[in-house]
Amino acid sequence: MKKLSIILLLTALIVAITSCDVLDTEPQTSLDPEAALVDAASAQAVLLGAYSRMQVDSYYGIEYTLNNDLVADNAQMLGFFDSQLEIDSGNIPISNLWIGNAWVNIYRVVNIANQLIDAVPDIEDEAFTTRDQVLGEAHAIRALAYFDLLRVFGEHYDTASNFGMPLLLEPIENNDFNLIPDLNRSSVADTYAQIMDDLDAALQLMGDGYVDNERLSYWSTLALRARVNLYRQDYAAAFDDADRVIEESPYTLVEDVNDLFGADITSTTSESIFDLVFNDQDQSSYYTFVFQRNEYRTDSSLLDAFEDGDERGSLFIGDNDRSAKWANSDNANNARILRLGEMYLIRSEAAVYREATPVPALGTDDLNVIRNRAGLGDLDPFATEEEYIDALLQERRVELNFEGHRFFDLVRFDRVGDVLGRDDFRKVFPIPRDELLASDNLQQNPNYPEP
């Protein structure tokens, strides 16, 4: 990862800052590297740059969310972009455009976080009363970025695997991207350990009084830790974190699923734990590609998955082939990265698996909470683990479709072969060609070609 790549142009200290309104900071077009991160205002501006970088198309501006449904069985591509057609097919080459862009841009987020984590503790500014908050958010942002990288490019489902992520934890020397270290890949266990260290540090720094569902504040960081613990199969910890968010946070389920998403719903809801905010001046690309270009279409198997009477089945437009979750014509629907509905599904799964022997019946109540909200009746307690897994994957699919979870769920439960008919090595995406060419140490994922 010697150049990580040199394509990682000035990011952390020279940050293109648009009118993203997650912070009350005057917009700046750039930050002078010699003057950056010297006071509270510059720290807030760089933090704003991290959120702004998360909004790019290859990350939460559209592609990270929808491509992970496209590679599964929730969406299909009817456009002409080779990158998306390759993802839809499941046969993703190392030259795929999205994986190259996603790798670079998510590592750009990492580097901005690194700059903050390195510099913020030493800033001398008596007016910097939000120092711990900014530092905590930087740790949380880095944790999210590494978790998202690991889910796509690493064998996140196997904590014994050596195929984790290269861990860039220091800011680039002199902000010179020719000096990016050529890092080896860390193991999956070590990658998770770093993610957990960042999440734990963030929670300690922020405290539960910091509530803001348009940022990675305390409760959204705790919700992210619940998700991470679920993926790394620490089910007792996942249960405890999700339970705290459900029982103690200020967030509540939206009563009507039609009030969660739609053309007119462009703000956070009572269920939003972390929304990455977009508006008519600071747009995503979801509407552009789902509606205007009509390219990310709904897979018929997803529509067939809805039971009669499931109100979530109404969240589709046209010939039931486009998701109403992204229907605002100004591209102003927020990216709902963490919401309370997912926490109930996490608590359900964790309840079943937190003891040495799975207890399927313990997952029933929380699944029924989500089903009841959608107008469906209760499921009876599950008698077998297989029955529970089928029901869980069903609920996660119909609840979280077009939010970027489906492929990872199939991977976690080893259903990629059965559901998608793909070889086992395709549980992960390949490392991008350009990154391999720029590095002497970066190792390709098993069974994918070298450049």
Q: What is the pLDDT of residues 242-263, one digit of tens each?
A: 999 999 999 999 999 999 998 9
Number of domain units in the chain: 2
**Domain shared by 257 and 137, yes or no:** no
Fill in the amino acid letter for 366.
D
Does residue 419 sit within a domain? yes
Q: Are residue 266 and residue 397 in the same domain, yes or no?
A: yes
- Supply the pLDDT for residue 20: 38
Average the pLDDT over each of 36-45, 171-180, 324-333 and give the range with the smallest value.
171-180
Same-domain status, 99 and 190: yes
For the record, the structure tokens of 273 come out as 């734990």
Q: Does residue 404 belong to any structural domain of this protein?
A: yes
318 falls within a domain: yes
Query: What is the C-alpha separation between 144 and 224, in angstroms, rounded?
Result: 8
Task: Spell out a b/e string for 48-60, using b for 16 or more CB atoms within 10 Å of the CB, else e.
Answer: bbbbbbbbbbbbb
The tens digit of pLDDT for each residue in 62-113 reads: 999 999 999 999 999 998 899 999 999 999 999 999 999 999 999 999 999 9
Q: How far apart are CA 257 and CA 289, in angstroms?
A: 23
Note whether 66 and 85 are same-domain residues. Answer: yes
Q: Which of 30-34, 111-115, 397-401 has the lowest mean pLDDT?
A: 30-34
Examine residue 224 and state whether it is found in any structural domain, yes or no.
no
Which domain does 349 fall in, by range?
A: 232-283+306-408
In a domain, 217, yes or no: no
| Residues 110 and 196 placed together within one structural domain of the fold | yes
Backbone angles phi, psi at 244, to 5 degrees: -65, -40
Is 219 a member of any domain?
A: no
Q: For residue 310, what is the domain's CATH number?
A: 1.25.40.10
Residue 311 sits in the same domain as residue 418: no
According to the 3-state scheme, what is the secondary structure of 60-96? HHCHHHHHHHHCCCCEEECCCCHHHHHHHHCCCCCCC
Give mean pLDDT, residues 418-446. Answer: 97
Q: Is residue 274 part of a domain?
A: yes
Tokens 């530092």 belong to 135
Residues 78 and 127 in one domain: yes
Do 190 and 86 lie in a common domain? yes
Kindly state whether residue 296 falls inside one of the protein's structural domains. no
Same structural domain, 58 and 152: yes
Q: What is the pLDDT of residue 177?
A: 63
Residues 33 and 74 in one domain: yes
Indicate whether 145 and 263 sit together in one domain: no
Q: In this structure, are 172 and 262 located in the same domain?
A: no
- The CATH number for 83's domain is 1.25.40.390
Q: And the tokens for 207?
A: 């405290």
